[in-house]
Chain A
């Protein structure tokens, strides 16, 4: 049995929030603004609420099998073979997620800062840190998330506040965006942008059981929803909907236009600092989760020997897309629009199966709280 260590609700919340919100640094805002226009800021709240509902269904599953993580539940409900296949799907998904996020990061840093540096060099440097984080383990990643959380939040807040002179509140009109049906359909599908909260189901035993799982998930989703919505709102107010859909990264663009006087301008270096930290937490956590699921599914006690093969796989995923267009329009579009079908619907399917087959876990010390 793999030992991952324990950490408190605060660490779990910080870690989950960071994994959820890192996408605001990338192309995510642009896509939402492009597809839902002036309704983008509340369309993401629809996604968040949808995700909360789906998360509560996941919670029902976890509650039904106290003391068990999602891998064990898959095995118990669907049998060892199908359970392992389902776990492998999650392993592959999280490697794909880590690799795609990593490549998106590399493409962005090349677009804005290091246009001529070979991407493999940036990837290698980044993966070295990710490997170090994975080597330390989940507890180390959660502690790193705690350390990074406050600078990242202060940085985001600083960018959003300092760009105030560019805001025009009336840019949120026409309030209906491209229409209610479009906003709802995009809002529901884009709940995929909040699916990362599912990682809690794989580390449930490290966060002291289902009650903390529920609390952590709901708090993280709520706060992440507010942060993402606020960032989209600020981008919309600064750029209007036609231009907001043009920028590679709206938040970076927001940081680049901050200008107060000769002495107070060009502050996007703040952005670089927090952007890299947030990306490290996100890619580090998802990379570790893929390792963790694999180890749990195949009863591997030590995850460390697997770090190098998994980092090689992540590196491959990251190198596979040919261009920024391919990363954003294929990899990231899949992750942020369709991942709901993997991350939420598989556990919900397992929950239904558990109901039908009448399968249930035993009461444990963890579940009693």
Chain B
């Protein structure tokens, strides 16, 4: 039974890897292998690579100073942060908001088995994030200590402790989020606000990381003493990684006890929370005259309502609304510093402008509201299909939301850059035009991906918002385009001025936009009618 549930959960998470919803048949083995290999590359190669670099930077110094525990304290804490941060909302979604909770609870399956399957999913997800940071740290440490037995045992114990501790934290935070969400009315906005605070804190530390790493490396002995003397349990935590038997036993026993406590806590409240319809007071209907709206305005209002109703959707698809203007403000305040940094790549106004444009375009990928929008119609698709509404209007509404949410922050950022940079007018005007054209192309691309790779069959909205192929393409495809936009200039800078480069880029973006527009309002529109 547990195996079936786990298999179902695994199939749901990786459904798009196994099943081609477009052709309505399972994928070939070769395709499955390719998708999993690519996923592994992103997790192990890209994320793991970053942490391998950090480990190499820190480990040698700490080991030579006899502060292996401090190295593990830092890397372990980082893994815990990453694992918890990466999986807390997934925990909430998969434990309490899964759409098949009612179905499973109605079957003769013990609640504890449903819980165990769900919790194992949570554990594996948290492990995926935390191990990405910790495994490189353990390997680098073992290499530095010449694969001593204590290092290997310590490394394994550290991995076990960290992954279980992440699991405990994720469950507790998921439980708290679930409890709060049954009490409050504007859940989605409150969730977004809390999450943004998390993000804010995360990015604050992220940008200060280099400064902190340098400071720690320079004063490792002093900081080590401070931690050891003032927070002894943290010292013991670091010692787990070094393979200290006493620390290993204490920490593994403690985390196992915590796991048991969390399992009891959640299993006691799972049914109540998972089947709760919310304790929020019901609204009283007061009859009032509704203002009649046109079709496109009605569809637009529906799209915005859909967005505002889901914190998950807002958090995953709208972060760029904050980041894009933040880029502009950073440039306004630290423009000189950035320009001098960019001048490292070459002289003149060309390279800084192209790099600024490419960075701005990359940031636009963080607004991908349009990419999951068709899939999010899900089982409601029949409504649009049966109403006398042109599918072109439906697409226009989705496109408008995408464009609106990308364009306004982009224009703000462009104004900041133009004020701060003071480049020749000709170059600046064409820079602005090319960025705006990119914005249009990207918005059309998101809608294209949304229609082309639409998936209306899912049991959790996490699937279209976070795991859909359309979203994947919207993010990494736009990154690729932005990198190409910036990178090609380095190859052609000798032959073409930056102004003309922007003019040529704008023409290319306009041409691609036209092709995408034709597809969307032609084949795309027809596809929407029959999804």
Q: Do the two chains bind?
A: no
**Chain A residues within 8 Å of B, Cβ to Cβ:** none
**Chain B residues within 8 Å of A, Cβ to Cβ:** none
